[in-house]
């Protein structure tokens, strides 16, 4: 895809080998998202149903993953684009690529507060009865995810 005079490749991968996991953690951190050690992100991506990575040349500039039973339920996680590459259609292209891997599934996610419109533009709608049992409920309430 060509956006903003930058040629960006969107790659769906079954294998996450050779991924720069410290950079993954760094991009998540810069996006204000939950971030862990590089090895924890490696395990999360490798154990997912599908993962997508966006590259500018050899530089990783975005990524995301979908977990799924592969049959009728799926959830999107860790969708992020490096700050200097945001607003060029990369996030939307990555989400579309992941949705293509779970075509027969209901797909849920929880958006970072303020990012709901990005997902609404892709057809997602707010859930009236969505509930979550978070590991750190206090933090999730303080950061605007729960009531």
Alpha-carbon distance of 112 to 36, in angstroms, equals: 17
Query: Could you say which residues in the range 8-37 bind ligand COA, by CB under 6 A?
Result: 31, 33
Query: What 3-state DSSP class applies to 22?
Result: helix
| Interface with ligand COA (CB under 6 A), residue from 26, 38, 75, 89 | 89
Asked if 90 and 54 count as a contact pair (C-beta separation under 8 A), the reply is yes
Size of the site for ligand COA (CB under 6 A): 19
Query: Between 116 and 145, how does the x/- string for binding to ligand COA read (CB under 6 A)?
Result: -xx--x------------------------
Count CB atoms within 10 A of the CB of residue 88.
21
User: Residues 6 or more apart from 140 whose CB is under 8 A from it?
Assistant: 132, 134, 146
Q: Where does this chain touch ligand COA (CB under 6 A) — which range of 4-12, 97-105, 108-116, 132-140? A: 108-116
Binding positions for ligand COA, rule: CB under 6 A: 31, 33, 79-81, 86-92, 111-112, 114-115, 117-118, 121
């Amino acid at each position: 895809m060509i956006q903003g005079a930058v040629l960006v490749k969107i790659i769906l991968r079954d294998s996450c080998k050779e991924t720069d996991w410290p950079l993954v953690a760094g991009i998540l951190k810069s996006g204000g998202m939950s971030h862990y050690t590089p090895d924890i992100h490696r395990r999360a991506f490798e154990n997912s149903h599908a993962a997508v990575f966006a590259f500018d040349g050899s530089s990783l500039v975005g990524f995301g993953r979908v977990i799924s039973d592969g049959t009728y339920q799926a959830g999107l996680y860790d969708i992020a684009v490096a700050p200097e590459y945001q607003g060029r259609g990369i996030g939307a292209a990555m989400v579309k690529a992941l949705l293509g891997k779970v075509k027969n599934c209901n797909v849920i996610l929880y958006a970072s507060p303020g990012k709901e419109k990005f997902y609404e533009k892709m057809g997602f709608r707010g859930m009236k009865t969505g509930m979550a049992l978070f590991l750190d409920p206090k933090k999730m309430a303080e950061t605007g995810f729960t009531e």
